[in-house]
Amino acid sequence: MSTETTKKSFFSKIKNYLKESKSEFKKIVWPAKKQIINNSIVVIIGILVCGLLVSAIDFIFTKGIGFIIGLF
């Protein structure tokens, strides 16, 4: 197999891949703007709740360990 044939084959594979990718992107059903906003709000609230929970647990353990160390 010559180098020229290999290069053509390589570039034709890339072209074919890009063509198929474009075809697949056309099949995607993208969510509506309202759904994206609602999902984003749910994620942000979830992150805030988890952050507050971790902060509360950290505060409790810090005070508890400080109390235990203060006893000795």
pLDDT above 90 as % of the chain:
79
pLDDT digits (tens, 9 = 90+) for 37-62: 999 999 999 999 999 999 999 999 99
User: What integer is the mean pLDDT of 21-44?
Assistant: 96
Task: State both tokens at 28.
Answer: 């995607």
The ranges assigned to domains in the chain are 1-30, 31-72
User: What integer is the mean pLDDT of 2-15?
Assistant: 77
User: What integer is the mean pLDDT of 2-26?
Assistant: 85
Distances (CA, A) of 68 to 27, 57, 62: 61, 16, 10
- The backbone torsions φ and ψ at residue 32, rounded to the nearest 5 degrees and listed phi first, read -70, 160
**What pTM did the predictor assign?**
0.60
